[in-house]
Amino acid sequence: MISIQSSPVAACLRRIRSVGVRVYFSSIKPVNSCSLPEEEGVVVFASIHRNGAVDGPVLEGLLPVPLLIAGKNLAKAPLLGLLLGDCITIYRHPASVAEQRQNIRELKRAADAAIAGRQLIMFPEGTSSLGPGLQPIRRGVEYLVRWIRKKERARPVHIIPVGLHYGRGFEFRSRVEVVFGPAITLSEESRPPGQLTRQLARAMARVAVIFSDRESQRRAELFADMVCALYPDQSHRFTCLAYRDGRLPTDLRRRFDRLVQGRPRHGRPPVVTRTPFFDLIRLALISPVVLAAFIVNLLPVLGAWLVAGKMADDDNVITLWRLLAGPPLLALQLLGYLILACGLSPGGGLLFFVLYGGISLSGIRLYDRWRRLWHGWMGMFSPDRKRLIRLQEEVGQWLMAAAKQHR
């Protein structure tokens, strides 16, 4: 039986993971509150899988007693094991009878944990993608529920679909939006094989941001990138859905599509600064702090960037490789700084680390603002500058009209 409480070591590692993802991402924001049915029961969160093994730490920071169910191939690697924590591990593609039996044993452990009060987090797709749609939903949740129902018949099982949306999941300081869907509540009655999996697939599709193809996704995300660069408080997820569902004026959408024709999805947002003089002053004030933060953290920043560029075979694991490479390099750098500080007086060493921490935290906090200002200024040199400015004005008018409709 798994205890509802994590061990002190596991709780400490979970806190470290939470700090790590909150430093890497600019915000992790629930779009809505997670509302459980009034009837007490066993809770399982079934999340869409977007950004590799990072999805788990992003979600567990929002729950009081989470327990991840992850692929055994991920947990075998030492650094990935630290990232995933005290998780339940299963084979995604069991290749033998022994591996199938191991999966059954692990699902039984997960059932015990859920009955004891742990909030299980599963990724029914089995693999992640930042592409336009969901991967096929596997039957792992259905098997898990079967084991829970065998041991716990007094309480229902609540399966809560979770949507994860990354503004630019392949970038440092991206924003994350989390959507909790209505719970699927299962009580005593049995269901035909496959029915729950199909119901879960429909529920997960409702909390996901799905496009018909990669080209539609590219245009929608570039439009959301532009809106969020101009208006940082706007929801990237909402803007993607507005573009997808045809809520933009037809002429505005048509002119935007022409403007971003051939522009890569990973490229910078198509924006032009609206206040060039004042933005130039802001850039001049912010840039030294951001540059100083980069210089004093050159080893982890540059090392993580190089490792991700070398090892990531798709954009859904760029963040993962950066988080795997960055912290060990940061620890190595801090060790070097500690040796350096030992050569100073006690007061000098303390002052060194205070300055280092202040510069690093300030640079992280200002980086997203600096990037928006920089993108806007780079737009000043675009051959489409005049068309972009007119388009931005109409985007502002569309946003004001949309806000009035929601009042």
Read off the pLDDT of residues 80-105 as tens digits, 9 standing for 90 and up.
Answer: 666 666 788 888 778 888 888 888 88
Are residues 237 and 369 both part of a single domain? no
Question: Mean per-residue pLDDT for 392-403?
Answer: 89
Strand 184-186 and strand 157-166: the pairing is antiparallel
Q: Which of these, 356, 365, 321, 322, lies nearest to 336 by C-alpha position?
A: 356
Q: 77 is written with which tokens? A: 């690697």
- In the chain, the number of structural domains is 3
Specify if 142 maps to a domain.
yes
Q: Does 66 score more than 80 pLDDT?
A: yes
Are residues 127 and 164 both part of a single domain? yes
Are residues 266 and 283 both part of a single domain? no
Domain boundary among 158, 180, 207: 207
Specify if 2 maps to a domain.
no
Cβ atoms of 31 and 62 closer than 8 Å: no
Question: Mean per-residue pLDDT for 326-349?
Answer: 92
The reported pLDDT for the residue numbered 12 is: 79
d(CA 10, CA 123) in angstroms, rounded, equals 21
pLDDT in tens, 196-246: 999 999 999 999 999 999 999 999 999 999 999 999 999 999 999 999 999
Domain boundary among 207, 225, 260: 207
Please provide the size of the chain in residues. 407
Are residues 373 and 260 both part of a single domain? no
The reported pLDDT for the residue numbered 61 is: 86
Confidence of residue 274 (pLDDT cuts 50, 70, 90): confident
Q: Average model confidence (pLDDT) for the chain?
A: 90
Specify if 3 maps to a domain.
no
Are residues 244 and 181 both part of a single domain? no
Q: Does 320 score more than 70 pLDDT?
A: yes
Specify if 1 maps to a domain.
no
Q: What is the value of pTM for the model shown?
A: 0.91
Q: 188 is written with which tokens? A: 């005593």
Are residues 176 and 100 both part of a single domain? yes
Are residues 222 and 171 both part of a single domain? no
Confidence of residue 7 (pLDDT cuts 50, 70, 90): low
The reported pLDDT for the residue numbered 230 is: 93
Q: Is 262 left (phi over 0), alpha (psi -120 to 50) or beta?
A: left
Are residues 244 and 311 both part of a single domain? no
Specify if 232 maps to a domain.
yes
Full DSSP string of 243-271 = HHTT-S-HHHHHHHHHHTTT--TTSPP--
Specify if 328 maps to a domain.
yes
Comparing 305 with 346, the larger pLDDT belongs to 305
CATH of residue 154's domain is 3.40.1130.10
Q: 297 is written with which tokens? A: 């953290």
Q: Does 184 score more than 50 pLDDT?
A: yes
Question: Mean per-residue pLDDT for 334-360?
Answer: 93
Secondary structure letter of residue 36 according to DSSP: -
Residue-number span of the structural domain to which 189 is assigned: 8-207
Are residues 249 and 342 both part of a single domain? no
Are residues 172 and 288 both part of a single domain? no
Specify if 369 maps to a domain.
yes
The reported pLDDT for the residue numbered 292 is: 98
Domain boundary among 177, 207, 237: 207
Are residues 243 and 169 both part of a single domain? no
Percent of the chain with pLDDT over 90: 66
Specify if 243 maps to a domain.
yes
Q: Hey, how many other C-beta atoms are within 10 angstroms of the C-beta on 83?
A: 26
Q: Does 1 score more than 50 pLDDT?
A: no
Are residues 97 and 180 both part of a single domain? yes
Question: Mean per-residue pLDDT for 338-342?
Answer: 92
Q: Does 37 score more than 80 pLDDT?
A: no
Question: Mean per-residue pLDDT for 48-77?
Answer: 85
Q: Does 3 score more than 50 pLDDT?
A: no
185 burial type by CB count under 10 A (0-12 exposed, 13-18 middle, 19+ buried):
middle
Q: Does 75 score more than 70 pLDDT?
A: no
Question: Mean per-residue pLDDT for 174-194?
Answer: 87
Q: Hey, how many other C-beta atoms are within 10 angstroms of the C-beta on 20?
A: 19
Question: Mean per-residue pLDDT for 162-175?
Answer: 95
